[in-house]
Chain A
């Protein structure tokens, strides 16, 4: 028998015993236990160490608000840190570890930080390490040296270095009504909306619906509340239009009534079934939202309030009633309101002993008095707990006379023995989502709590969220909220009778007892009441500054227990009221979300990828594939033992010598059709397309509106009103979007349609002196001789039964043809071309050889059209029509864009026989250690098989004017410094005889 488990009672399944380990020790619990309840049942009171001071900590709450006992779960080969023990359902084989302790929880070296407690106050790290320190270890450098040690000493759990193998998924949902919170109010709202025919989603962060009803002693129409709730839940499951999401925390409320939720689908079982997600991220778009998020209990801040054994009063009630676990052998209650009296009765009924009820109020009402009598004690009114005793566990409380008006303690501190101290500072509605949705909470002096604001989005509140803390109010407001979302008026139909009658839990306005010793406001970040006052003294008085200076409320629990006490202390320090101090706006997430759940399938092998029709052929034939945007393209087809460089040199040389073939299917292709297509092209290209004859192609250049070069490519006129535009692979999407903008916004009167046909066509470029001979061997239905198919000509024919379109154009400077066919025929045609090229030893080539060939020829690509260069910088002035305006013509002649000293395109040749490097800078003087000022940079480089040298393209100040001069290449990252000669970028066949021949 566990030391603190009651003999009977609770909603746990006592017939099922579950074994788990905590810090290597074996324990047992029952089905229905959380890790927290099971640890408490086993008498484990010390279960964590605090963030900064390494103080011993125990379970403080029973729900999502737990600040203290965060553990690391070891599961399916992964360490998952910082999970509140109150949120973990135990299963057989569960392994959990405590955090932030070394070497063990009981004997922690870091606890020496406590001794220096006065030194490590708010802003300590900033002041000590970031500020100006005299001497060699100035400012940030000193911080960088110390940071390592500080990071080791402070903090929460340790993340894993291994990749998370868990599976996550994202789901989209649409509904008429999203109900957040499955307590009585939420369930009533869901039923009312469902009965009115609405599509409803109900999300409950706990495994079971019911909320407070699971641990209250109430009855509804004579039925125990938890049973009544179970029946209502069961009725809801019968609606086809209702989706119940247990274990689902709604953590974000975004614009347009879009809400984010995290479902912990399989965290409560030992193993996630294959093919299923461990956690599921929900994006819910709801027409209406019901916020029935309940309320959380606040602690009272007093010295020693973090000792293991101090717990929220409502939590003790829940452990006793729902889990059959007593908080201790002798429990003292400390409260500023009546709800603690109900908790005391619950503990008494479960078999516990109440040592005292300490109440800050000078007098209490009859209802509370009656409950105290039932709990077997006379309340100590007008008194407060001013301190606690014990080290790793609570052994007693110091009780002193207290004046709630002045907030002063007086008289002798009387020690009372106890091993459990249950605290209640009143209840705060959970307003996080309402605040995220864009409105400021409103302070209610009576209830001493922030209440929800007027909605800024389509939501309706219900239950304790509204500051209505009774179950009767929850029933009524829940039903009305559901009806309102269904467009109906409030109902007067009978609601279940609730017994016993509810108390008024309005508290006395006391949230802090000022005495000696550390009094914690934010347990998780170790922020004390004195830290808040220090922030005030140092001028960080606005709540937003307070939060950032002390980190109050910035821990993983987002200040669920610390928010209101922290504000109250700051308000008191400033001598203003709590509403005058104001609140910070809550930000998502309400509770922590694993990054994996947000990334879901966007991570790993499911990222979008594009494959050309010939992809499988490339892979089968030894191509090393390389990513080009989302595409995969062959880099080289290396033979055994060949390096990448050897392979591309061989491939490029084969093109110059005989013939090569390269997959160009990735080029962007846009069908431009309509009676105004030619006019349109004249406006978007710098050169003229309206004069292009049908059956011919032309190289075109586009600028941006600011006069900078945008993209280049060839456009083919297939018919009078039918053009096929090609773009660079990388810019296909951007060009399409640009053209669509032009048509939709600039010239809606033009009759032009655009369709992306990139994927319709497979493209293979055949290049080299024997290219024509290859085509002659396989093309039928057309001639391909110089007369029928001159440079920039287009013909239609067939290759091995497949329709093809052939355009004679060249990127390599060789006689070359681009053969296009339907993508589904791509590999078929490719293989036919390979076969036809066999007598010429046709060589497939990849991106590297393609790059080498274009560098030799001086063709520009994205490396030179880099968003900074103009047409003139690239010596493409000849393409700028003077006869018509075009996009970019308005600004391209600005003085700075036509300056002679701009970086302009040149070729460079390595003079020391060593490789060049992309991104290397060019300088006129200096040494490798102290290079002179940059006059430009290398954009592309290769070994040129044609020139037998390392060559490159570069953008250099002055461009052409430097031809024939020598400059220095400075590439410190690659430890390279050497001489290069600046030459024309047309390295090879500058007159184009090979290309036109």
Chain B
């Protein structure tokens, strides 16, 4: 298969940037997911859909607002709206598996593997950096590990999953990814950041 090009361009340079007086505040990287799909349940079929995803992705996804899960292999799923889930994994075949697994009577699945770009940000100052971009409470109690949130930064829709205490993954529309990454990096300059 043809390799997928990154939308981030030459401005997203690996290395250390910003003020390192207190060490590296955050690390920012692009996560090259093989598959990203949006799965959407018909009203009343939310649980069935979550169960299908759970079975296909080998994780336990509760069908509750804002909840999410991740498998040991790194397959992730989280809720982004009523009956709507974003599912992703490193394997390019996963999208097809999910499309096959979810029947017409349960809901629909749309492949977004090319349409969303995933950025990971992690590090001790991650909550500080993210507070500059989003009107969301990033504290662990308000936003637990694996939970998902749909929000926006100016005109840019962003879906966020917390992957660890100090680690988040951002799903942004591919066309916005370059501008978003630039904004993210700028916000991290005062704490020092590394692009990997």
Chain A residues proximal to chain B, CB less than 8 Å? 169-174, 199, 273-277, 283, 285, 601-602, 605-613, 615-616, 630-631, 665, 671, 673-675, 721, 751, 753, 755-762, 800-802, 822-828
Contact = CB atoms under 8 A, between A and B. Distances in A.
Given A275-B189, A602-B154, A753-B107, A610 B176 contact: yes
Interface in B153-196: 153-156, 173-176, 178-180, 182-183, 186-187, 189-190
A82 to B, nearest CB: 27
6 contacts: A172-B132, A275-B18, A601-B183, A602-B154, A760-B174, A802-B2
Contact of B131 (A173, A608, A721, A751): A173
A278 B42 CA distance: 50
Interface string B127-148: 0000110111101001000000
B91 interface: no
Given A608-B156, A758-B175, A759-B116, A828 B132 contact: no
A757 B4 contact: no
Given A616-B9, A753-B40, A172 B136 contact: yes
Contacts of A285: 135, 137
A615 to B, nearest CB: 8
B175 A824 contact: no
B93 interface: no
Contact of B112 (A610, A615, A755): A755
B184 to A, nearest CB: 10
Nearest to B110: A755
Nearest to B142: A174
Contacts of B154: 602, 607-608
B186 A606 contact: yes
Given A199-B139, A827-B5, A170 B132 contact: yes
B97 interface: no
Contacts of A756: 115, 173
A286 to B, nearest CB: 11
Closest CB pairs A-B (n = 7): A824-B4, A760-B115, A275-B189, A822-B114, A610-B175, A174-B137, A759-B174
Contacts of A801: 1-2
Given A630-B155, A802-B1, 13 more contacts: A172-B134, A275-B19, A601-B186, A674-B42, A755-B110, A758-B173, A759-B115, A759-B116, A800-B2, A822-B4, A822-B113, A826-B5, A828-B2
B7 interface: yes
A648 B36 CA distance: 39
B131 A824 contact: no
Band of interface residues on B:
35 or more
B51 interface: no
B190 A760 contact: no
A672 B121 CA distance: 33
Given A275-B19, A610-B179, A283 B135 contact: yes
Contacts of B134: 172
A826 B70 CA distance: 30
Interface in B100-119: 104, 107-108, 110-116
B9 A608 contact: no
A835 to B, nearest CB: 14
A471 B87 CA distance: 58
Nearest to B17: A275
Nearest to B156: A608
Nearest to A600: B132
B38 interface: yes
B177 to A, nearest CB: 8
Contacts of A274: 19, 189
B67 to A, nearest CB: 20
A174 B5 contact: no
A779 B88 CA distance: 30
Contacts of B111: 760
A800 to B, nearest CB: 7
A823 B115 contact: yes
A442 to B, nearest CB: 34
B44 to A, nearest CB: 11
A647 to B, nearest CB: 25
Contacts of B175: 610-612, 631, 665, 758-759, 823
B139 A174 contact: yes
Nearest to B111: A760
Contacts of B187: 169, 601
A617 to B, nearest CB: 10
A977 B19 CA distance: 60
Contacts of A275: 18-19, 189-190
Contact of A172 (B5, B18, B131, B173): B131
Given A170-B132, A755-B112, A825 B190 contact: no
B114 A760 contact: yes
Given A611-B178, A753-B107, A828 B5 contact: yes
A169 B184 CA distance: 12
Contact of B108 (A283, A674, A758): A674
Interface string B45-75: 0000000000000000000000000000000
A667 to B, nearest CB: 12
Nearest to B174: A759
B108 A753 contact: yes
B37 to A, nearest CB: 10
Contacts of A757: 110, 112, 115
Given A761-B114, A800-B2, A673 B131 contact: no
A301 B107 CA distance: 75
Contacts of A607: 154, 179
A574 B173 CA distance: 63
A760 B135 contact: no
A611 B181 CA distance: 13
B2 A825 contact: yes
A802 B19 CA distance: 42
Contact of A611 (B7, B38, B107, B156): B7
Contact of A609 (B4, B115, B179): B179
Contacts of A760: 111-115, 174
A834 to B, nearest CB: 16
Contacts of B112: 755, 757, 759-760
A276 B19 contact: yes
Contacts of B183: 601, 606
B114 A759 contact: yes
A758 to B, nearest CB: 7
Contact of A825 (B18, B114, B155, B176): B114
B5 to A, nearest CB: 5
